[in-house]
Structure 1
Amino acid sequence: MRTPISRLRTIGIYEGISYLLLLGIAMPIKYMAGIPEVVKYTGWAHGVLFVLYMMSVLEVTLTHNWSIKKVAAAVIASLLPFGPFILDKKLLKDEETKKEEPARQVA
């Protein structure tokens, strides 16, 4: 997690997992088994990760001069159950492309 993008990717993965746990496990347990505490704690953890994710999006936006389109994509990704994983794949691809560009110019 040395770069802003790597921090965004890492936090995004954890945020995405917490969202899936909240929707796929905690909510059904709350309504089927009548145990609302599961949602309370899972929701709290997801909320903290969501705030960290948004702060990380802001950091990447300021550091890498992201366009409004990229910021909107990152925000929308956080609202969709599998969105952070899709965004992570795209960010990884972009990182690999940027690492290869200087090597192409030298050769």
Structure 2
Amino acid sequence: MTHTLTFSAGRLFSIVALIEALTWAGLLIGMYLKYVTGTTDFGVWLFGRLHGAAFIAYVVVTFFCMTRLRWPWWASMLAIMAAIPPLVTLPLEIWFRRKGLLG
């Protein structure tokens, strides 16, 4: 018997938005440790890479969801712009879920 794991496009967006926000938080903590306390640069090294990958994944998944879920142009633009400032993908995902944009 084989089990397949299936995600709806909306669920995938929610997961990737959360990961993008968490890696942003890790990067911000890493930058604090490196530039404010001067204790270590490991957080920037690690979370910089993780956040870079999460950012790319978020943008790809956003474009997938834009077409799959047929978002209006304003929702598509908000979703793309939410990836730029820190931690905005999380409240955007919550708002999209409440508005019914995640399917």
TM-score range, shorter chain: 0.7 to 0.9
The one of 38, 42, 48 equivalent to 1:37 is: 42
* TM-score (ref. length: structure 2): 0.81
CA distance in structure 1 between the partners assigned to 2:20 and 2:90 by the alignment: 10
1:78 partner SS: coil
Gaps of 5+ in 2: 1-5
Is 2:13–2:65's contact at 8 Å kept on the other side of the alignment? Answer: yes
Q: Please identify which structure carries the higher helix content.
A: 1
By how many angstroms is 1:27 displaced?
Answer: 0.1
CA distance in structure 2 between the partners assigned to 1:14 and 1:39 by the alignment: 16
Is 2:26–2:43's contact at 8 Å kept on the other side of the alignment? Answer: no
Q: Percent identity?
A: 19
Q: Which runs of 4+ in 1 moved over 6 A?
A: none
Name the stretch that deviates more: 2-11 or 31-40: 31-40
CA distance in structure 2 between the partners assigned to 1:82 and 1:28 by the alignment: 16
Equivalent in the alignment of 1:28 = 32
By how many angstroms is 1:11 displaced?
Answer: 0.7
CA distance in structure 1 between the partners assigned to 2:45 and 2:17 by the alignment: 21
Aligned length: 97
Q: Decide which structure has the larger Cα Rg and report it.
A: 1
Gaps of 5+ in 1: 99-107
